[in-house]
Amino acid sequence: MSRHCGFVAIIGAPNAGKSTLLNRLVGTKLAIVTQKEQTTRSRTLGIVVEDDNQLIFVDTPGIFRPRRRLDRAMVRAAWREADDADVVVLLVDARRKGIPDETRDIIERLKKVGRKVMLALNKVDAVEDKARLLELADVLSAEGIFTETFMISAEKGSGVDDLKAAIAAKLPEGPWLYPEDQMTDVSQRLLAAEITREQVFLQLHQELPYSVSIVTDSWEEFEDGSVKISQGIITEREGHKAIILGKGGRTIKSIGQRARYELGKLLDRRVHLMLHVRVKENWQDDPEHYEPWGLEFKV
C-alpha cells in the first residue's frame, strides 16, 4: 500500500479557532487556547497518522493588519507556512456577520497568488439561524478560491472527521516524514513556556498579556520521574511586574498553580514549577525572543 504525507496549514483571522481545531484533529492539547485574539505566536505542528496517511497539521498565528514588530513577524510566519503547505484550510468564525476585513484580506492575498484552498466555517453550533450559515457559505464560495466547504465545530468536534478525511484525500504520495508515534516537533521547553503563557492570558486582563514573554530557563529531571521547571515571565515595565505578582504574590501563585496542573497533564508526570518575573524594556525588539518561536526578526 502506498503512503501519503503532506503539510496542512490552518490559517485564518485571529480567534477563528485554529488552535482548538489543531487540538481536536490531533486528539490532545498541543496549542494553547484563550478567548483573547492573537494568543498564538508561533506555528505549532500536530502530526496525525490514519491508515496510510500522515497528516502534518500546522497551526499558525492569526492573520491581521499588524502594528508592532512582533505582530508583523507573526503574520509573516503564517503566510510562510501557507505558502509551503500541500493543503491549506481557511478557518472562518461563522458567528460573525458578513466577512470581516481580516478574512477579506486573506482571501485577496490567496487570489493574488492563485492559491486554491479548503474552507471551514467554524463554531456553527453557536449559530441558531442555519439559513445564515448557508448564505455565508454561498458568499464565500463566490470568491472562487475554495475547492470544498465544511461546517464544523472545532470545540464540539462535529464535522471535523469529514474535514480530516477530505484533507487526507488531497495528500501527495510519498514517505512519512516523522516517526509513527511522534505528535509534534515542538520542544518540551517551548510547550511548557506556552502552557504558562496561556495562564497569563487567561488570568491577566486587557493588553498586559501581549507585552509578556515566557522563557524556560532550566529543566531538571529527577529519579522519581518528576521534573523541576524554572521559567521567567518577561515584561516591559516595573508597573506590569507588580500586576503579575499581585497583592501578596497571589496572582503569580495562581498562574503557577494552574500552569503546573496543565503541565502535569501534558507531560504525564509530577511537575515542580518555579516562576520569576523579570523586567526587560523593549524585549520585542530583541531577536533572542523570536528564535524559539521560529519567527523571523526584521528591523
Question: pLDDT per position in the chain (299 positions), as tens?
Answer: 689 999 999 999 989 999 999 999 999 888 877 777 677 777 789 999 999 999 999 988 888 888 888 888 888 988 899 999 999 999 999 998 888 899 999 999 999 999 999 999 999 999 988 899 999 999 999 999 999 999 999 999 999 999 999 999 999 999 999 999 999 988 899 999 999 999 998 998 776 777 889 999 999 999 999 999 999 999 998 989 999 999 999 999 999 999 999 999 989 999 999 999 999 988 888 888 777 777 787 75
Same-fold call for 4-168 versus 188-293 = no
Burial of 138 (0-12, 13-18, 19+ CB in 10 A): exposed
Domain ranges of the chain: 4-168, 188-293
170-202 burial, b for 16+ CB within 10 Å, e for fewer? ebeeeebeeeeeebbebeebbbbbbbbbbbbbb
Helical spans, DSSP H, in 246-298: 250-267
User: What was the pLDDT predicted at 90?
Assistant: 97
User: What was the pLDDT predicted at 299?
Assistant: 54
User: What was the pLDDT predicted at 225?
Assistant: 94
Q: Considering the domain delimited by 4-168, tell me its CATH architecture.
A: 3-Layer(aba) Sandwich (3.40)
User: What was the pLDDT predicted at 73?
Assistant: 87
* Superfamily grouping for domain 188-293: K homology (KH) domain (3.30.300.20)
Residue in the structure block whose three cell numbers are 516517526: 179
Measured from the Cβ of residue 86, the count of other Cβ atoms closer than 10 Å reads 17
